[in-house]
Chains A and B, each alone.
Chain A
Amino acid sequence: MKKTLIVLKTEFINTVTRRSFLLTLILVPLLPGLILGGISLFGGDQITDLPGPSTQPQPDFLTSEGYIDQAGIITQTPEWLEEGRLIQFESEAQANEAVRLGQISGFFVIQPDYLETGSIRYISQDFNPMEGVNTTWLINSVIQLNLFGGDQAQFERFHNPILVEYIDQAPGETEEFVDMSNPIAFYIPYGMTMLFYILIVTSASLMMNSVAKEKENRVMEILVSSIKPRELLTGKILGLGLVGLLQLVVWLGSALVMLQLGGQTLQIPPDAQLSTGILVWGIVFFVLGYLVYATLMAGVGALVGSIKEASQATFIIILPILIPVMMVGVIINRPNATLPMIMSLIPFTAPNTIMTRLAITPVPLWQLLTAVGGMAITIFILIRAVSGMFRAQLLLTGKKFSLGLFFKALRGKHPDFQEP
């Protein structure tokens, strides 16, 4: 136990004092920070979410804009449009004056031949890099509504012709879904899948690099003559797990700080906000997912001759956790269908499948507990197998790494790994 703590401490210090790690730690939050700063500078001043129908486009940087309707087509505006957001002007002179006074950031001129040509001009005083990306959706929605003769219901059905409600006939189970018509609510489970994938894979990759470096530096034999392989593996997993946690805290913390410094707030609808329960399960499945993949990566690291050799193997090893990312649409649409349920019970796909589902709907407790149990057993088996690899890799010096060798070693089937 004492030696495990020594390995943990050394692994943590060695990793966090590495220049490449420090650069990644600082640059990753810095780049989005600069982008956000740029948006603040050139775009609006607040990120918000507007209540309204699902036809409402993405949240935007709110500023007032104007329009001059030379075609005479606008008689109504959507119910959800905030007052003062889109102001009608009679002439370009009036609109230009409003721009000059800073009342609006720019204005649209709907040309008299709009119905034939679709031609609209946008006039603003300053160059804005977000122009065209963020400003046209509003006038677009207003014009669409008026082209439907102002019928809000038809307008809504045109954009969302069907809203399918899937009902599974499992007895005793009722499903509560987050309203997916809200874009932010849709992106939360999607983001959850990606976040778990990135967090687990980056943390586990640190592990593979660390073990492969030890092999490259030829210190493994000295280590296994001083400490039990299992203690060594556990110390490394915990030390690098803490590094991953530090990375997570710094990145999330800087994201919050930057948002506050920029005077911006992200308003998430109440039904899409993450509950404490999800956060608790999030921590459980992050830790378990990290342990599964970090142990597998340690095995790869122990068998490869160099870090370069590990790249092809890494892809195969992380493939299972990539599957929920590739199938995120299926999981979001039917989170409690058979396929997402099976993926939740397989230890290698469980972490991000379950977290995606939890962001949408309650997951039955038995599935959560089965997944936790299955992952715990897998971790136990993997740590035993990979500890054996730490000893046996000493026999493999000079042998080329192959996935066949890895999987044989994992099952203890390779002749060189047969310990009595």
Chain B
Amino acid sequence: MSTITVNQVTKRFGETLAVDQLSFDVQPGEIFGLLGPNGAGKTTCIRMILDIFQPDSGDISVMGGPMSDDKKNRIGYLPEERGLYQDIPLDRCLTFLAALKGMPEKSSSPKLNEYLERFDLYDVRDKKVKELSKGMQQKAQLISTLVHDPELVIIDEPFTALDPVNTEMVKDILQQKRDEGTAIIMSTHQMNQVEELCDRILLIDHGHRVLYGTLQEIQSQFASRDILVKPLTHLPEAIDGVASIRVHNGRHLLSLEEHVEPNQVLKNLINTGTEIAAFEIAVPPLNEIFIQVVRKQSRSQNG
């Protein structure tokens, strides 16, 4: 059973069409990247999943049906527009937010302490939130998103304000949650994190679905006829079946002639006596795909 099924959902605000006939699903045990440029409709989509807004048309099924109070308790949400109560101690703030997720104070306390220690916030738990650094507050927000062991986690830009050490820790936690069967929707503009973490992605623009599928499927859609080679010996200046050779990030980017297969080029290279450390089909980075697709959409929207 899908954790989320969005079926032909449309949402307007006055004259603005925020989401248009959007469909996708999210499975348990996957990290799902919800991507798109600013104003694409990602946040509206998330808010409809969470029942903050109602769609104008279409259906949304969460954990097998419509949203309920019980299901809200099984969701962890870290919105883009986020914050904490600034004038109260950190542990009181987290206890309150956990209670709203159905965790009584008695059961939330040991769990909170465990997370506070893991995120290195235990010693500052009695301090007022406003006395904590931005990074500390970000970690506290992640705790409130995860402390009740949700089945569905929706996180918007989870790595903002985190240093590399904490970024790694959060990535580890997300991967661990995925392995435990949690469905995770991650919205971010950091494409390197998407490439590293996401199993599937959905790219929306102007409320429309533009790209949808596994990372591999999407990257192969955009793969060019280029091959990346890392030779151990000198690479010949001319290779049969290769139209041009460029050096790219310490490796050689070979552009193939038409109708030539990569296998044939590999054979030709070996025949020239070149020793090879790495030979791979060049896959465009997600960042490039994102820019390419969004620019194309923008051109078609403008006319």
Contacts and interface: CB of A to CB of B under 8 A. Distances in A.
A391 interface: yes
Nearest to A392: B53
B83 A225 contact: no
Interface residues of B, number: 30
Contact of B84 (A18, A219, A224, A419): A219
Contacts of A213: 85-87
Given A218-B81, A394-B81, A18 B50 contact: no
A281 to B, nearest CB: 37
A226 interface: yes
Contacts of B83: 217-219
B16 to A, nearest CB: 9
Contact of A416 (B13, B47, B72): B13
A91 interface: no
Contact of A415 (B13, B81, B101): B13
Contacts of B54: 419-420
Interface in B35-92: 47, 50, 52-54, 56, 69, 72-73, 75, 77, 79, 81-88, 92
A2 to B, nearest CB: 8
A416 B87 contact: no
Interface string B102-136: 00000000000000000000000000000000000
Nearest to A228: B69
A115 interface: no
Contact-residue size bin, chain A (C-beta under 8 Å from the other chain): 20 to 34
B67 to A, nearest CB: 10
B188 interface: no
Nearest to A3: B100
A18 B88 CA distance: 9
A283 interface: no
B77 A6 contact: no
B144 interface: yes
Contacts of A391: 52-53
B14 interface: yes
B97 A225 contact: no
Interface string A1-24: 001001100100110001000000
Secondary structure class of chain A's binding surface, majority of residues: helix
B161 interface: no
A222 interface: yes
A339 interface: no
A221 B100 contact: no
Given A222-B82, A225-B75, A394 B56 contact: no
Contacts of B79: 221-222, 225
Interface string A394-420: 110100000000000000000110111
Interface in A368-404: 391, 394-395, 397
Interface string A200-240: 00000000000001100111011111111000000000000
Contacts of A419: 53-54
A18 B87 CA distance: 8
A225 B97 CA distance: 11
Contacts of A218: 81-83
A226 B86 contact: no
Contacts of B84: 217, 219
Interface string A131-170: 0000000000000000000000000000000000000000
A232 to B, nearest CB: 9
A222 B85 CA distance: 11
A217 B84 CA distance: 6
Given A391-B53, A416-B13, A14 B88 contact: yes
Contact of B81 (A3, A227, A397): A397
A10 B96 contact: yes
B72 A217 contact: no
A227 B52 contact: no
Contacts of A416: 13-14
B223 interface: no
B99 interface: yes
A226 B13 contact: no
Nearest to A415: B14
Counting chain A CB atoms within 10 Å of each CB, the highest count among B81, B100, B144 belongs to: B100
Closest 10 CB pairs of A and B: A218-B83, A415-B14, A226-B100, A221-B79, A217-B83, A225-B50, A225-B77, A6-B99, A10-B96, A217-B86
Interface of A: 3, 6-7, 10, 13-14, 18, 213-214, 217-219, 221-228, 391, 394-395, 397, 415-416, 418-420
Interface of B: 13-15, 47, 50, 52-54, 56, 69, 72-73, 75, 77, 79, 81-88, 92, 96-97, 99-101, 144
Given A13-B92, A14-B92, A219-B82, 14 more contacts: A3-B99, A213-B86, A214-B85, A217-B85, A219-B84, A222-B79, A224-B52, A225-B72, A225-B77, A226-B72, A226-B73, A226-B101, A418-B13, A420-B54
10 contacts: A3-B100, A14-B85, A213-B85, A217-B86, A219-B85, A221-B82, A222-B77, A391-B52, A394-B52, A420-B54
